[in-house]
Chain A
């Protein structure tokens, strides 16, 4: 029997050796991947021993900091958000009970010093050996609290979002979403997070509407259609159209939108440029039919639709813009038969876009046709004050020629000077803008928009404002908010 016993012994040892191999796998190869899992409560709780890096706005205002607390003989670092609701949807929270959200989630590696920079690894190992508290890296954002405060105040009591960015660098100055919540309540008073009286259902205060909210763009989308039509040389700003007040699609009349001044208007003989200036649906309906849905979709992709924007917020808090079918992003394999080109051209069809994406559209025109990656992180600084990462502006792509950009800019300037966007006009500064009033299916209830940039000849700020459940129009509800935000950035006094 000894031969069999020897073999059984070998088999037993192989079984046990396999355990060492499997343990090695989990503790070395797989451990980094597991540490990043959202439901890894062990990692999360363990990270409360780390003195998390702070988060600051561009002017140094503290947005997230730590509170030391002794628990069972250990020092734990809990988060506190001095600005409360102001940056809640962007900065997010880091809690023991409800995990993390916002930049606290997506930039967790930097904040806990578990990023792969050589210097960070060295410092962290040294701290570990010395037995001192590990300190995370600090984040400095590009946001300006002054602008953000203004944006949140302008949106207060409404449901909507505003994005303010630098069109030339893609750096975000303000990313506002209302209703919002107090991140200091998440750990122990999550049940108090409600938004009573918000004029939308569900109020969803945790939702970052600027990046994660999907809305029908309405006429703001005409900027995308115009780009496709002009940049492909199928039309010029001087091309003329006959506007009977409606356009005929599939044998049916599609009327122009009602105007703030009265019922549906018919403009008669107009140019392409006047079509954008007065936001005439029939003109764009005919442009859409002429250039086809395929071409518009191509330009949408260039503008960044159908992709998650590069903004540093977590992947689960941002959505790509585009056509949606049954709640899912839909890219037609055969646009000619699957998409209604006329309705697409003036921003209805099944389009759903984020305010961030429409801010990118305005920025691209402002930046003479080059789309920039939107960014909110400016730099990462280690605990010794040394900058370890600086986020440089990055081009997404050139969407249109300079000429096309200039042509659209001048049409948008006309729209503010003498068109639908008059409420955004700033004395002494030429503002380029486009209104949007999207039908929601409930008659009389609209999603209103305004996208704009200024000064038109040398743009320094681009803005997108969206409001849900409005009875008014983009030009009367969203445009005044956009004006206030542009003025705030352009005012020589406010550098904040």
Chain B
């Protein structure tokens, strides 16, 4: 079977699963939602068939698993968002259409040779910083949950950081490809441009309080430097600097200190000072409210889950029990609905995506493609780890989206661009050699 036919078959399976998911929510919530919900599955299948046709035309030799996995992840996300807030699911659907359009545009525009991007690497680096600075500009940026990450045009909100991540990976891949030999020998001056652009990005992130993205960028940077140079020492120095820096920030910035305290001691037996309202309260009723409520949600899923649509996420009066359920905590809602069995399967999907992505990097035959492939894939894996690990209290919680699943337009668009990038690299690596 050809690669594209295999992809088509996978997409049909995904379409069936999506239909089942929506049917499940519909059955559980008949009195609240309408039969129109069932049309979502058909709509998604049609949308992904279009994406598939574009892939057939632009990247015929690309990996056949990535698009179906991405399709399934978005479908799971929309199903859960639909259960949480039907209105948001519609908006997310619109964003997915935009994302698929951008995906198609990227594939078609770069189908001949994406490697010419390499020559614009500094432009990408500066664009990344520019995008990150945008929300900090007065009149343009909006603050959500203490972090200034959003820009708005009228009623449309956009988080440019997600796109900046991809630009930064392209910059790193280009720069590291060119300088990897000299960098491996440890010539300090070659680190200059690297540190300027990367350091600028970090500075902006710390300034805007986007700790999750800062951690993500740091991880991507270390991983790509390691892939390029093969020097474990650099990674070790980087990690040491990171730990020292984190400790410094922990002691100096109260916001960060608070996050770590919440992580270490989410429950208290006696009342402690609550910075949110300036009164005394149990920490589970104050700072760690979100984390604790999300853990309750995960725990109540148990082994088999409640079933999609039957999650307890609001009181009988409709007050939400878990904050930010659509975005940061969508994993908690899914863990309750799907149970250990289902949520493990979801993580396995992420793992398969990562394996295929890394395989693409391995098969690619030029340095830029390898670095870009590994960088994009690691970024995807690490972002998943940061948000889900935070929700699971494995690491301190920082707000960041779960790729493809969380509600959020910019996130979906950026992840489809990431997907397009991987498919382009894969297509080139698998294409039969022409003389």
Contact = CB atoms under 8 A, between A and B. Distances in A.
Interface of A: 1-6, 8-9, 12-13, 15-20, 22-24, 26-28, 30-31, 34-35, 37, 39-43, 45-46, 48, 69, 71-73, 76, 96-97
Interface string B360-373: 01100001001100
Given A16-B354, A28-B303, A1 B293 contact: no
A4 B381 contact: no
B312 A46 contact: yes
A6 B32 CA distance: 49
Contacts of A22: 389, 392-394
Given A1-B367, A31-B302, A42-B321, A19 B385 contact: yes
A23 B332 CA distance: 10
A455 to B, nearest CB: 46
A27 B335 contact: yes
B284 interface: yes
Contact of B374 (A8, A30, A34): A8
A109 B291 CA distance: 25
Contacts of B301: 27
Closest 10 pairs (CB-CB, A-B) = A73-B31, A9-B358, A12-B381, A31-B299, A22-B392, A46-B312, A34-B299, A15-B385, A4-B227, A71-B316
Interface in B368-387: 370-371, 374, 377-378, 381-382, 384-385
Contact of A26 (B293, B299, B361, B377): B299
A13 B355 CA distance: 8
B295 interface: yes
B179 to A, nearest CB: 14
Contact of A19 (B32, B302, B312, B392): B392
A478 to B, nearest CB: 36
Interface string B283-316: 0110000001101111111110010000011111
9 contacts: A1-B371, A4-B227, A15-B389, A19-B384, A39-B284, A42-B312, A43-B296, A45-B321, A96-B316
Given A2-B362, A8-B358, A34-B296, 6 more contacts: A4-B226, A4-B227, A18-B389, A27-B303, A27-B339, A42-B336
Contacts of B31: 72-73
Interface stretch (B150-158, B343-351, B404-412, B417-425): B343-351
A459 B308 CA distance: 61
A12 B367 CA distance: 20
B347 A5 contact: no
Interface range, B side: 35 or more
Nearest to B343: A23
A17 B351 contact: yes
Given A5-B362, A46-B312, A16 B347 contact: yes
Contacts of B187: none
A12 B335 contact: no
A72 B302 contact: no
B388 interface: yes
A73 B32 contact: yes
A118 B3 CA distance: 53
B211 interface: no
Main secondary structure of the interface of B (DSSP, over half): helix
A8 B299 contact: no
B297 to A, nearest CB: 6
Contacts of A31: 299-300, 302
A9 B336 CA distance: 29
A47 to B, nearest CB: 9
Contacts of B72: none
A16 B381 contact: yes
A16 to B, nearest CB: 5
A1 B316 contact: no
Contacts of A96: 315-316
A19 B382 CA distance: 11
Given A23-B340, A23-B343, A16 B358 contact: no
B385 A16 contact: yes
Contact of B300 (A39, A42, A73, A97): A42
A190 to B, nearest CB: 14
Nearest to B340: A27
Given A19-B347, A23-B298, A27-B302, A8 B316 contact: no
A422 B300 CA distance: 59
B101 interface: no
B13 to A, nearest CB: 22
Given A22-B389, A45-B316, A71-B316, A13 B351 contact: yes
A96 B113 CA distance: 61
A42 B347 contact: no
B377 A27 contact: no
A35 B301 CA distance: 11
B312 A73 contact: no
B227 A5 contact: yes
Given A12-B381, A72-B31, A43 B300 contact: yes
B138 to A, nearest CB: 38
Contact of A23 (B300, B344, B370): B344
Contact of A45 (B315, B343, B354, B392): B315
B418 to A, nearest CB: 14
A42 B350 contact: no
Contact of B351 (A1, A16, A40, A42): A16
Contact of B392 (A3, A9, A26, A46): A26
From A22, A26, A39, residue with most partner B Cβ within 10 Å: A26
A6, A9, A39, most chain B CB atoms within 10 A = A9
B163 interface: no
B340 A24 contact: yes
Contacts of A73: 29-32
Contacts of B340: 23-24, 27-28
Contact of A41 (B296, B298, B389): B296
Nearest to B387: A19
Contacts of A69: 316
A63 B16 CA distance: 51
B226, B303, B312, B314, most chain A CB atoms within 10 A: B312
B184 to A, nearest CB: 11
Nearest to A24: B340
A39 B354 contact: no
B223 interface: yes
B109 interface: no
Nearest to A9: B358
Contacts of A46: 300, 306, 312
B117 to A, nearest CB: 19
Contact of B350 (A5, A16, A28, A72): A16
A41 B299 contact: no
A283 B293 CA distance: 60
A125 to B, nearest CB: 11
B216 interface: no
Contacts of A24: 340, 344
Contacts of A34: 295-296, 299-300
A19 B388 contact: yes
A20 B303 CA distance: 13
A1 B371 CA distance: 9
B169 to A, nearest CB: 13
Contacts of B81: none
Interface centre among A5, A72, A73 (most CB of B within 10 A): A5
A283 B302 CA distance: 65
Contacts of A17: 347, 351
A6 B374 CA distance: 10
Contacts of A35: 299-300
A179 B31 CA distance: 44
Nearest to A23: B343
A41 B313 CA distance: 9
B408 to A, nearest CB: 20
